[in-house]
Every structure is written in structure tokens, then in C-alpha cells.
Amino acid sequence: MTDLQEKRAEGMARRYDVRGLDAIDVAVLDTFPVAREDAHSYPGQPIEVVIRTDEFSPVCPWSGLPDFGELEIRYLPSERCVELKSLKYYLTSYRLVGIYHEHATRRVLADLVALLDPLTMTVRCDYGLRGGLHTVVTAQYARP
């Protein structure tokens, strides 16, 4: 029996360390107002904001291996928009966090809804194929 076979037999298969949910850096998120406070404001012109990245990569809570996903955030802002550089830092903070696909998608939605109080928001993540399984998770919010 090889060393790896012995480790597997003993239940000691390889696993990478992962961080907990407290490593998600919500404090880095920043916003800016939808309407400007000068003569160049845009009254009566609602907008939809769509942000996409193919670099979303939380990790599997069991193995610590990265789960690569294409993340899309789509929202109708009420008063504020998310500042993009701060969003990049926020999303990057997931890189060592052990979290399931479904939880990661719902957590992004919850954090951004708390930050922005949008009229509506949808977060969709299309995770890469793993073990023959393809996962797409969509979480939605609509202001009551």
C-alpha cells in the first residue's frame, strides 16, 4: 500500500486550510449616490446596473480547493451604487473562505442589499464544472 493509500485508509486525505465567514471583508465596501447634487443630476432616469466577473473564487469547505465562478450582480439602485474597486476587494476576500456555492451567492446578495437598499437585486453565480456537476445559483431580492 502506498503512503497516499494509507492516509486515505486512515481518513487523512489531503485538505487545504480554509478561513471562516469572518474573513469576508464587508467593511471594504463603499458606495456613491445615484443622483449627483449639482445641475447635472438625472431626475426621472432610472438605471439598471449589471456587474460581471469571471474571477469569483471561494473555496470548497471540505477540500479547500477553489471553486471558480462567473458572478453577475444585477440591480435597480434606489439612492446608492456600489463603488467598483471596493467591490473587487470584497469579492477577493472570498478567496480563502470555505463556503458552499449556495451560501456564497446568498451571502453576496445579503451584504449588498444591506449596503445599498436597492429596489431589486439578483446575484447569479455560474460555477465551473466539478466532478461532472455544473451548479448555477441565483438569489433574488425585491424591496417590500
Q: Would you please indicate which residues are annotated as catalytic (active-site) residues?
A: 60, 67
Backbone dihedral angles phi then psi of residue 135, each to the nearest 5 degrees? -120, 130
Distance CA 136, CA 128 (A): 9
CB atoms < 10 A from the CB of 117, how many? 15
Distance CA 11, CA 2 (A): 14
Strands 120-130 and 49-56: unpaired
Is the dihedral angle over the CA atoms 92, 104, 144, 48 positive or is it negative?
positive
| Residue at 133: amino acid letter | L
